[in-house]
Amino acid sequence: MSGRPEILYPLFAELETLAGVGPRIAKTFAQLEVEKPRDLLFTLPYSGVDRRRRGSILGADLPAVLTVEVEIGPHLPPARKGRPYRVEVRDAQTTFLLVFFHAREDYLRRQLPTGQRRVVSGKVELFDGVGQMVHPDHMLRVEEAGEIPLYEPVYPLTAGLTQPAVAKAVAATLARAPDLAEWIDPALRAREGWPAWKVAVETAHRPLSADELALTAPARQRLAYDELMAHQLTLALARAVVRKAKGVTSEGTGRLQSKVLASLPYQPTRAQERAIAEIAEDMAQPVRMNRLLQGDVGAGKTLVALMALLVAVEAGGQGVMMAPTEILARQHLDGLRPLAEAAGVVLEILTGRDKGTERKAKLKALKSGDIQILVGTHAVFQSDVAFRDLRLAVVDEQHRFGVSQRMELGAKGRAADMLVMTATPIPRSLALAQYGDMDVSVLDEKPPGRLPVTTALVSGGRMEEVVAHLRSAVAEGRQAYWVCPLVEESEVVDMTAAEERFKHLRAALGESVVGLVHGQMPPAEKDAAMARFVGGATRVLVSTTVIEVGVDVPNASIMVIERAESFGLAQLHQLRGRVGRGGEASTCLMLYQPPLSEGGRRRLEILRETEDGFRIAEEDLAMRGAGDVIGTAQSGLPRFRVADLERQSALMALAQSDARKLLAEDPGLEGDRGRAARVLLWLMEQDKAIRLISVG
């Protein structure tokens, strides 16, 4: 696939090639992330102003933006410095004032000669019973008044940029917009009533009413769909490349799996059984599996992962399970070991700590196939780590791991199947955006016997009561987490907050009872403090959010979150999920600092109402927007200019099936629609996808 198609050149030229855009304005546009005409095309107006002409300002519901034809009356220069300059004007029914601050009299007398007629447009307010239009947006001769759009779009601005400047640059860009061949499935376009691409762009920038600015307006929907389609096409191409890499068929015999199931004190949930079946079926196919296992806190992902690893072992191969940190890797090891022993499978761990002879021995056993399942951190990626026959890689906590890392793991030349696990329930639209190249299994039931966690909101003023409650709980042998507030500015401040609380609780509960973990500690110290808590030596663990991901202490049944209103919904849900893992009834106390903001109160109330992570995630998305929910910076989630993931999730699903269908029918994008889709990929700057076509 050669370079960018010529038809798009004008849209990818310098911004300064547009009429009215000089170096200064171009710099200012860059702050809006507008660097070329193409970016302007997708910077759509967010509201509009009705500038239809009316006979008089009389009878209008003020304040309002009005457009009227007037006769210019006397000029009233200010009596003293600092007062406004006023011009009296008369429309068909009444007299009102045009008001100017810091005005130049000679300029205004030239613009508004007494006795002549002008069309003025601007915001009119009543002041002492007299209508005033301060600094009109438009003052034109009657014959020029056609220049005022009947409905004027309003664009996002930044310091140094005015509406007229943006409108002018947009008009110049629209004049360059080429006619592009259609990439949307004709039946779909007809069904939705979407306009052609060029018409859609023009309509979106020249709305005739507020209805045409809505997300649901056909032109806007079409442009949002194009954006989602380009993104899903990229993911589908990535998926096709992965699937093209010949997979290995791993068919389980069920022998080891049944041993594990027999050793369990409970019956797996229907969701677990369904996920295990989906994974086993994928592994038996000759194409590489690329599946996401999404489950809420405590939904039993570990069992599903182990069953998948056992399929690999039953088929004569090996499996690896990777965790983001050493603590989590050790925890997976502890969780899997008793089950692996029941099946009679050799399980080992490899982390950055393994050195010298011990490491050599492990690598040798791995290469010879004596270790059947390996648990590890990213140390598993190092070049000297070789398996005899790796069939399955299970990756934990995917959101630290974008599409490119997924492809890297595959590029190790091992056509291992991939299973990614995430404990963060992700709303469907985001799951499609982030993991659209994968197939998804969802665990949406809790295993039996997990008691609900009682969640209470407590005002920070009642701190001493909470400490007293903690004292009696510790005396009964229970354990508790105490999470300190997140201070945005710096980790150092986080640390001081945690250290202060640590001192306070030690004084109240006893020196040896309280432990401390925060982000600034050396890893070894952090691990040691965690180990003391896991072992039950310390009863209360004071921490910043390092405990958020995955740590499992069944005896911990109390979670105190300080300044809970400063955390996001998903984070609070994850933190609460650290308790309620044992046989004890657990509580989560959310301490808040009154007065709560509207959003803060809503978040805490949702948590009090429900423990369903998927419902919480949907609410979170509605309240915060897509970028924040998974932390855009490291999520690999694209920034959409037109599409709104929160409110257009159905479009995303449509784009995914359309993209997959197009590639199934035309894998090389050689047909008419395929070639049009290539232009779409260039237009949407999906360079990754373009490289994938040339690879494929």
The angle, 0 to 180 degrees and rounded to 10, between the axes of the packed helices 218-244 and 428-435 is 50
Would you state the pLDDT for residue 461?
86
User: Considering only 38-42, 113-117, 143-147, which range has the smallest mean pLDDT?
Assistant: 143-147
Could you tell me the end-to-end alpha-carbon distance of the chain, in angstroms, rounded to an integer? 10
Quick check: 490 pLDDT over 60?
no
Query: 333 with 375: CB under 8 angstroms?
Result: yes
For residues 5-12, average pLDDT: 91
Domain check: are 395 and 487 in the same one?
Answer: no
Mean of pLDDT over the chain:
84
229 within domain boundaries: no
642 within domain boundaries: no
626 within domain boundaries: no
Domain check: are 165 and 17 in the same one?
Answer: yes
Would you state the pLDDT for residue 629?
41
Tell me which residue of 339, 180, 253 sits closest to 677, measured CA to CA: 180
Residue with tokens 């973990």: 517
**Alpha carbon distance 309, 292 (integer Å):** 15
692 within domain boundaries: no
Would you state the pLDDT for residue 296?
75
Domain check: are 177 and 312 in the same one?
Answer: no
The answer to whether the Cα torsion of 568, 573, 576, 578 is positive or negative is: negative
392 within domain boundaries: yes
Domain check: are 367 and 285 in the same one?
Answer: yes
More confident residue, 179 or 395: 179
**Alpha carbon distance 381, 387 (integer Å):** 11
Would you state the pLDDT for residue 546?
54
Query: 178 with 8: CB under 8 angstroms?
Result: yes
Domain check: are 296 and 393 in the same one?
Answer: yes
Domain check: are 340 and 466 in the same one?
Answer: no
User: Considering only 367-381, 489-503, 574-588, 668-682, which range has the smallest mean pLDDT?
Assistant: 489-503
Maximum pairwise Cα distance, the chain: 101
Q: Which of 123-132, 233-242, 432-441 has the highest mean pLDDT?
A: 123-132
More confident residue, 298 or 54: 54
Would you state the pLDDT for residue 120?
92
Provide the β-strand partners of residue 480: 540, 558
Q: Which of 410-414, 423-427, 564-568 has the highest mean pLDDT?
A: 564-568
Query: 103 with 84: CB under 8 angstroms?
Result: yes
Q: How far is CA 470 from the centre of its chain?
A: 37
**Alpha carbon distance 377, 54 (integer Å):** 70
**pLDDT per residue as tens digits for the range 378-395:** 777 777 888 888 899 898
595 within domain boundaries: yes
Query: What distances in angstroms separate CA 169 from CA 21, 22, 48, one per listed residue?
Result: 7, 11, 17
Quick check: 244 pLDDT over 70?
no
Q: In this prediction, what percent of the chain has a pLDDT beyond 90?
A: 31
41 within domain boundaries: yes
Residues with Cβ within 8 Å of 27's Cβ and at least 6 positions away in sequence, in order, are none
Amino acid at residue number 488: E
Domain check: are 558 and 581 in the same one?
Answer: yes
Q: In this prediction, what percent of the chain has a pLDDT beyond 70?
A: 89
Domain boundaries, position 414: 255-443
Would you state the pLDDT for residue 672?
93
Would you state the pLDDT for residue 89?
93
Residue where a domain terminates, one of 148, 176, 201: 148
And the tokens for 581?
A: 């893992």
Residue where a domain terminates, one of 411, 443, 475: 443
Q: What CATH number is given to the structural domain containing 74?
A: 2.40.50.140
Quick check: 58 pLDDT over 70?
yes
Q: What CATH number is given to the structural domain containing 328?
A: 3.40.50.300
For residues 328-336, average pLDDT: 85
**Alpha carbon distance 70, 118 (integer Å):** 6
And the tokens for 657?
A: 């099936």
Residue where a domain terminates, one of 587, 610, 633: 610
**Alpha carbon distance 580, 293 (integer Å):** 22
Domain check: are 364 and 345 in the same one?
Answer: yes
Would you state the pLDDT for residue 397?
64
**Total number of domains in the chain:** 4
Quick check: 625 pLDDT over 80?
no
Q: How many CB atoms lie within 10 A of CB 166?
A: 24
And the tokens for 45?
A: 């107006």
Would you state the pLDDT for residue 307?
95
Query: What distances in angstroms separate CA 527 from CA 331, 511, 517, 534, 578, one per listed residue?
Result: 12, 20, 9, 10, 17
**pLDDT per residue as tens digits for the range 667-678:** 888 999 999 999
487 within domain boundaries: yes
**Alpha carbon distance 392, 250 (integer Å):** 9
Amino acid at residue number 294: Q
Amino acid at residue number 27: K
Domain check: are 529 and 393 in the same one?
Answer: no
Domain check: are 582 and 512 in the same one?
Answer: yes
Residues with Cβ within 8 Å of 658's Cβ and at least 6 positions away in sequence, in order, are 184, 185, 188, 229, 232
- The pairs formed by 134-143 with CB atoms below 8 angstroms and a separation of 24 or more are 134/84, 134/99, 134/100, 134/101, 135/99, 135/100, 135/101, 136/98, 137/65, 137/163, 138/51, 138/67, 139/98, 139/111, 139/112, 141/116, 141/117, 142/69, 142/117, 142/118
Domain check: are 278 and 324 in the same one?
Answer: yes
Domain check: are 368 and 396 in the same one?
Answer: yes
**Alpha carbon distance 63, 686 (integer Å):** 46
DSSP annotation of 377 = S
β-strand pairing of 586-592 with 453-459 = parallel
Query: 56 with 45: CB under 8 angstroms?
Result: no
